Amino acid sequence: MNAQQDKNIMEYETVALDDADSALVVLDQTKLPTTAELIRLHTAQEIRDAIYLLKVRGAPAIGVAAAFGIYLLAKGIDAEDYDTFYRKFRAYKDYLNSARPTAVNLSWALNRMERVCEDNRALPVAEIKQRLKETAVAMKEEDIRVCRAIGEHGLTLVKPGDGILTHCNAGQLAACRYGTATAPIYLGQERGYHFHVFADETRPLLQGARLTAYELLAAGVDVTLICDNMCASVMRNGQINAVFVGCDRVAANGDVANKIGTSVVATVAKRYNVPFYVCAPTSTIDRDTPTGADIEIEQRPAHEVTDMWYEKPMAPAGVKVFNPAFDVTDSDLITGIVTEYGVMRAPYTEAFKELFRSRQSL
Ligand code: MRU
């Protein structure tokens, strides 16, 4: 089944709780763009595997999936007393949290769910489970509001007709709606901005080709797919007015971890004076991580580079492969970090301190 022949991909929910409150339903992103398949996840292993195997991926979507996932697992815990319930909850939490290390939204979401347990420990376990559900549902709704706000702030940085380059997929498929890096693009589309978007294919897992190009095309955006090594060419030709990317973790000093290759785009953008913007919900800002050097970078299996997506292996058997999933972009390459509260500018340490001081509730 071609997803486009069925219904528009923009009408699918990336992450949802099913109506019977019994399964986490995710759109399997490993099958896109050819097949749109919703998969139902019940067990801890199914949920962790779906995150590790990138069936659900992108920092915000991982966070919401983890929140629904831990709720479902908590719901199934057969214990009346808080201590037994909490011990089992913690085991599930640690297990899900081990799926991927770089995107802070995974631990951020699980920590928030754990706080629901701790803050309500005096309540009956059944009531705690209900609060967990309410929190997970609220996190999904928040994600949509936050992404839309990022879109509004991002839109102030560009003008109609601009060329925009993006890397990886920080789109609707990586979140619950709008995406982060794509939010200004979608809002601009609604308002007749006629952007020309260039999507890096994003080796090795092709999130740009399979997902970003696909969802933008489905939304009617003028999108052109380019190989990762073409970004210098389009910038030098003057086709790009701004770069928007998402991110997996922002360190306290403004260094940013995002999909491998992002730092190349940022370096090239600096060379050609193209503003480079990182779109980041405040949930992705990790004040406990001082600099980019302190961010754990996920290493992925070799076959993703040598075999995956090819009909036949495209590398000699046994060759050594280095496959980090993310890289760090130094803060001095970043023109601005677009959050739901506005555009942060360097020096980021001070900008974040001020942001979190003025938003005590964050
Ligand atoms: O490995 P992935 O596909 O989960 O990597 C995704 C990215 O790097 C995104 O840019 C990031 O998570 C931001 S998504 C809004």
DSSP state of 298: P
One pLDDT digit (tens) per residue for the chain, 362 residues: 345 456 999 999 999 999 999 999 999 999 999 999 999 999 999 999 999 999 999 999 999 999 999 999 999 999 999 999 999 999 999 999 999 999 999 999 999 999 999 999 999 999 999 999 999 999 999 999 999 999 999 999 999 999 999 999 999 999 999 999 999 999 999 999 999 999 999 999 999 999 999 999 999 999 999 999 999 999 999 999 999 999 999 999 999 999 999 999 999 999 999 999 999 999 999 999 999 999 999 999 999 999 998 999 999 999 999 999 999 999 999 999 999 999 999 999 999 999 999 986 54
Distance 65 CA to ligand 1 centre (A): 14
Q: Ligand 1 centre and the CA of 248: distance in Å? A: 6
4, 34 contact by CB (below 8 A): no
The parent domain of residue 110 ranges over 3-146
* 194 and 328 inside one domain: yes
| Residues with catalytic function | 248
CATH value at residue 85: 1.20.120.420
Task: Please indicate, yes or no, whether residues 128 and 186 belong to a single structural domain of this protein.
Answer: no
Picking from 102, 120, 146, the residue at the C-terminal end of a domain is 146
CB distance 57 to ligand 1 below 6 Å: yes
CB atoms within 10 A of CB 289: 19
Omega before residue 204 within 30° of 0, cis: yes
Pocket test for ligand 1, best of 62, 148, 212, 259 (most atoms within 8 A of CB): 259
Neighbours of 317 (CB within 10 A): 6
Q: Please state, in angstroms and rounded to a whole number, the distance separating the CA atoms of residues 198 and 218.
A: 15
**Domain identity same for 259 and 295:** yes
Six token digits for residue 69: 């996932």
Classify strands 276-279 and 336-339 as parallel, antiparallel or unpaired: parallel
Q: Does one domain contain both 126 and 54?
A: yes
206 with 345, same domain? yes
* Of 146, 179, 194, the domain-final residue: 146
Alpha helices in 174-298 (DSSP H): 183-190, 213-218, 231-236, 262-271
The pTM score is 0.96
- The answer to whether 116 and 128 are in contact (CB under 8 A) is yes
